[in-house]
Structure 1
Amino acid sequence: MADDWRESRAHEMRTLIMRADPDITEEVKWRKPSNPDGVPTFSLDGLICTLETYKDKIKLTFAKGASLPDPAKVFNASLTAGTRRAIDIKENDTLDDDAFVALVQSAVALNRE
């Protein structure tokens, strides 16, 4: 990952994810030649979300995002996908930290149903 705003923002998102539930586990999956660092995944009783880094953004994709309540409209990408929903964060974007944490907590609760 580049040593720039994306790295610090990804760290910030990891911190928020762990704030949602300290039992969440981070693993790196799907390593391949085109992405030797793999994709960080966050799980608790099932997959919650992935965190990917792109040139102009970081993307958090929630595995069951379409089934989650999002009253604060945190999701801003993959809004028409059948199952997933995503959050794209660009360099100067602001994020409602509390709404994001609530979204992660909802994802954990859904996994436990």
Structure 2
Amino acid sequence: MADDWRTARVQTLRSLLLRAEPDVVEEAKWRKPTNPDGVPTFSCDGLVCTVETYRDKVKLTFARGASLEDPDGLFNASLDAGTRRAIDLREDDVLDEDAFVALVRSAVARNRE
């Protein structure tokens, strides 16, 4: 990943995930020749979300997002998926950090049910 706005965004997301749940574990999964670093995954009693970088966005995909309440409307992608939901963040998008932390806490709570 290029050292640009996406790198800074991913670092911010990592810190917010840890703020939401200090026991969250980050691992790189699904390594392949076209993506040797793999996909960062964040788990706590099950998969919480993945973070992928694209040319024009950073995508957070919540594994069980369809089952989560999203009162602040953070989910803006994969809205028709049966199980998952995603948040696409472009360079100038502003993320409501408190709402994101609450969403992560909800995802961890869902994993613990």
Q: Tell whether the structures are fold-level matches, with TM greater than 0.5.
A: yes
Residue in 2 that maps onto 1:86: 86
Rounded Cα–Cα distance in structure 1 between residues aligned with 2:45 and 2:53: 25
Residue in 2 that maps onto 1:36: 36
Structure 2: runs of 5 or more not aligned: none
Amino acid at match of 2:69: P
- 1:61-113 per-residue CA deviation (whole Å, 9 max, x = no partner) reads 00000000000000010011000000000000001000000000000000000
Rounded Cα–Cα distance in structure 2 between residues aligned with 1:28 and 1:74: 24
Structure 1: runs of 5 or more not aligned: none
The residue matched to 1:37 in structure 2 has which SS? coil
Residue in 2 that maps onto 1:103: 103
- RMSD of the alignment, in Å? 0.4
Residue in 2 that maps onto 1:11: 11
Rounded Cα–Cα distance in structure 2 between residues aligned with 1:37 and 1:44: 21
Amino acid at match of 1:88: D
The residue matched to 2:91 in structure 1 has which SS? coil
Task: Using structure 1 for the length normalisation, give the TM-score.
Answer: 0.99
- 1:21-61 per-residue CA deviation (whole Å, 9 max, x = no partner) reads 10000000000001111000000000000000000000000
Q: Which runs of at least 4 in structure 1 moved beyond 3 Å after TM superposition? A: none
| Seq. identity, % | 72
Task: Provide the aligned length of Structure 1 versus Structure 2.
Answer: 113
The residue matched to 2:41 in structure 1 has which SS? strand
